[in-house]
Amino acid sequence: MKRKTSPLFSPEIRSYLLIGGLFFFTLIFVVSCTTTKERISRPSVAVKQLPDIKPSVPSLGPQAQPGKTVQFKCNDESSKMFNASGVDATPFARLAFYDFDGDGVEDMVVGGKEGDLLLFKNIGTQERREWALVKGYFSGINANAFSSPAIGDIDNDGMAEVVLGTGGFSSESGRIHIYKNNGTASKPLWVKSNAGEISIGNDAVPALVDLNNDGRPDIVAGNSEGRLFAFINETSKAKVRFKKDNGYFRNINAGTYAAPAAVVRDGSVLVIVGNSMGKVYSLEKPGRTKAFGGRKQLGISTTSFAAPAFMGGRKGTKDLILTDGIGEFHYFKNSDGDYINWEHDSNFLQGRVFAGPALSPAVNDLKIRSCIVLGNIAGDLSLYEYDGSRKLVPWNERSGYFKGIKLPGFSKGLLTEWRGVTVLITGQQDGILRAFYNRGGDDSPDWVEEKNFFRNIPKIMHAAPALFDIDGDSVQELIVGDSEGRIHGFKIADLSDALPEWKPLYSIFDNVSVQRFAAPSVYSDGQDVFLVVGQQDGRLQVFRSTTNSGVLAPFKRHEALPDIRVREHSSPSVKFRNGAVELSVGDYNGNLRYYVCRNAEAR
C-alpha cells in the first residue's frame, strides 16, 4: 500500500531547518475547550482534570508565609503523561539497528543534529518492541554535529564497530570515522581506529553491506550533493582499511542530502536512499554485476530529509524505518517481502505526543475535561484532549480542530471565551497577536479572525502570550514574552466594550529578564504569584510577586524550583494543584516534558 505523509512544513520552513534553524493565552474568566452560548463561570459539574500523582500531599497555601522561599523537589513524570515510547524527538535523526547483546532482538542506535549517539535497548521482542535508553553507551563518540551511524562487525572479530558519518557546518562535515570497541558488549570502550581518513564532501551518511560477496561489510555512503560512494573493506587483523571504488554508482544522483540504507537479498544488493525533499528511491545491483542500475522512486516519502534504516522483519526480510527533518519516525512493513510495496504501521513509537519542533504547550482545565493546545515552528496548532481511559498516555488528538488556521511560524495558542463565544488566542514569530472566534460548534468548529481584538497592542517579536489574574480582581491579565527575553503586561481597561481595550501594566515586570525568547506562564499558591519563564538555552527562570495590603509588588527572581532544563527554547505551561506545581514544558526538538514539583519539606 502506497503512503505519503501529509506536508507539515512549507519549502521555506524546510529551508530554514536546513540552514540550521535550526503563540496563546486566555482572556477573562475560566478557560474552556467547548463552545457555549453563555460565559463560562465556575462549573456546576465535576471537572475532569489531569490526574494528581499524590493527592494526599498537603497544600502549601496555609503553610507558606508571604515572601518565604519554599523549596520544591521535582519528579520527571513525562513517561506517564506525554511519552511512553522511551524515545525522544530527534530532528534529522539517523538510525541503525543491531543486536549488541546477542539476545535475538535488535537494539536501536540514534544519531542526529546534536552530534552524539544514543543506544535504545529493545527490552521487548522483535515484534512488540519496548525501548529503554542506555545512558553513556557510546561515551567517547561524537561527530560534533549531525551524526549518522552504521553498525557492523568490520574485522570479523565478533565485536561490533561503529561507522560514523559527520555533517553540519563544521570542518569535520563529510568525514567517516570508524570506532572499535576495546571493552565488552556490556561495558564498551570506544576507540577511534587507525583506518585513515574517509571524506566524501559534506554531510556523510554511511551504511554497511557486502558489495562484493566476500563476507565482509563494505561502506555505501551518500553526501549533500546527492552522490553515492562505495568503499571496499580491505581490513586485516592489523589494520582497518577501506578502499574507494568508483565503479558501483556511476552517473547516479539520489537528490540532495542522500541518505542510504542497504541490504543483501536473494544474491542481489539493494540500496534504498532518501533525500532532503523527502523522496525515497531504490537501486539494485543484481548478482555478480558490479554497477547499480538506475534509481526507481518508491511510493513512500516524508515531509523532508528522508533517511531510511533497515530493521529486522518477519521471515528473514527487513522492514524500513524512515526518519525526517522534524523528528518523526515512520515505520513501513515489508509485508510482501519484495522491498517495493511497503505497508505503513503507526505502532512503532506508540504513546508519544508529538506536534513538531519548537513545541509550545498550553494546558487548559475545562468545564468538563482538560485539553492541551500545541504550537510549533511551522505555525501549526493542534488540540489534544485528556482521556484517562487511554493506554500509554492519556491524550487523544482532535485532528483538524483548527482547520484553516495557519500562522507564519513559532505559533502558540489556547482557547478561552469572550462574551459567550469560544476564542482562540495566538502569538507568532512576527510579533502579531491574533484572535479567532469559533462561529461553529465544538464538534464542527468554524474559526473566523477578529482583527481588532488586539488593535492597541504593538508588535512584540516572537510573541509568547499567557493569561492569569495576577492582581486578584477576577479579571485575567495578558502577559507576553518577547525575543529579547522581556515580559510585557496588559490589562483590560473597560469590560463593557464590545472588544477589549488593553492598557499596559507598568513597573511590575521591570525586574524580569531572561536569556532571549521569553515564554511565560503564571500560577499562584494562594498567597504569592509566581512567573515561570522559558528561555533560549532550555532553562526555566522563576520570579515571585508578593502582596502587601492587597498591592502586588514587582516580580523578583525566585529560587524555589530546582534547575529544570530541557533542550533549547523551553516553553512552559504551569498549574498549581493540591500543593504541587505541575509543569508541562516543550522544547526546540519537539519534546514535551511533564514535571511534578512538591514542597521538599512536606511529609
Look at residue 233 in the predicted model and tell me its pLDDT: 96
- Pairing of β 381-386 and β 395-397: antiparallel
Look at residue 216 in the predicted model and tell me its pLDDT: 95
The pTM assigned to this predicted structure is 0.85
Given 310, 345, 380, which residue is the final one in a domain? 345
Query: Does some domain include residue 367?
Result: yes
Query: Does some domain include residue 60?
Result: no
Provide the CATH number for the domain around residue 228: 2.115.10.20
Q: Are residues 331 and 403 in the same domain?
A: no
pLDDT, greater one: 273 or 70? 273
Residue 221's domain comprises 85-345
Query: Does some domain include residue 376?
Result: yes
pLDDT over 50 at 361, yes or no: yes
Mean pLDDT lowest for which of 58-72, 132-146, 340-354, 585-599? Answer: 58-72
Q: How far is CA 131 from CA 310, 350, 448, in A?
A: 17, 11, 43
| CA–CA dist 113, 144 (Å, integer) | 9
Look at residue 66 in the predicted model and tell me its pLDDT: 46
Share of the chain above pLDDT 70, in %: 87
Query: Does some domain include residue 9?
Result: no
Name the nearest CA neighbour of 31 among 362, 359, 353, 361.
362
Look at residue 60 in the predicted model and tell me its pLDDT: 24
Q: Are residues 305 and 452 in the same domain?
A: no
Name the nearest CA neighbour of 538 among 513, 562, 572.
572
Q: Are residues 364 and 299 in the same domain?
A: no
Query: Model confidence over 188-233: pLDDT tens digits?
Result: 999 999 888 899 999 999 999 999 999 999 999 999 999 999 999 9
* SS3 (DSSP) at 570: coil
Question: Which of 399-408's residues contact partners 24+ apart within 8 Å by CB, and which partners?
Answer: 401/445, 402/445, 402/447, 403/445, 403/447, 404/447, 405/381, 405/436, 405/447, 406/379, 406/380, 407/375, 407/379, 407/380, 407/381, 407/434, 408/379
Given 283, 313, 345, which residue is the final one in a domain? 345
Look at residue 599 in the predicted model and tell me its pLDDT: 85
User: What average pLDDT does the chain have?
Assistant: 86
Look at residue 417 in the predicted model and tell me its pLDDT: 87
> Cell 513509537 belongs to which residue?
349
Given 314, 345, 376, which residue is the final one in a domain? 345
Query: Does some domain include residue 519?
Result: yes
Q: How many domains is the chain built from?
A: 2
- Pairing of β 161-165 and β 148-152: antiparallel
Query: Does some domain include residue 70?
Result: no
Look at residue 494 in the predicted model and tell me its pLDDT: 86
Query: Model confidence over 226-257: pLDDT tens digits?
Result: 999 999 999 987 789 999 999 999 999 999 99
pLDDT over 50 at 302, yes or no: yes
Could you say which DSSP state residue 253 is in?
A: B
Q: Are residues 314 and 364 in the same domain?
A: no
Query: Does some domain include residue 175?
Result: yes
Q: Are residues 323 and 432 in the same domain?
A: no
Q: Are residues 314 and 279 in the same domain?
A: yes
Query: Does some domain include residue 64?
Result: no
Q: Are residues 437 and 328 in the same domain?
A: no
Mean pLDDT lowest for which of 41-45, 166-170, 482-486, 531-535? Answer: 41-45
Q: Are the beta carbons of 414 and 373 closer than 8 angstroms? A: yes
Look at residue 145 in the predicted model and tell me its pLDDT: 87
Look at residue 475 in the predicted model and tell me its pLDDT: 86
Q: Are residues 248 and 378 in the same domain?
A: no
Q: Are residues 226 and 299 in the same domain?
A: yes
To which H or E segment does residue 297 belong? strand 296-301
pLDDT over 70 at 565, yes or no: yes
Q: Are residues 248 and 371 in the same domain?
A: no
Q: Are residues 283 and 394 in the same domain?
A: no
71's CB contacts (< 8 A; 6+ apart) are 560, 599, 600, 601
pLDDT over 60 at 360, yes or no: yes
Q: Please compute the mean of the pLDDT values over residues 532-559 and round it to a whole number.
A: 91
| CA–CA dist 160, 107 (Å, integer) | 13
Query: Model confidence over 385-440: pLDDT tens digits?
Result: 999 999 899 999 999 999 999 999 999 998 888 888 999 999 999 999 999 999 99
Q: Please compute the mean of the pLDDT values over residues 152-156 and round it to a whole number.
A: 94
pLDDT over 50 at 8, yes or no: no
Name the nearest CA neighbour of 67 among 553, 401, 602.
553
Q: Are residues 340 and 368 in the same domain?
A: no
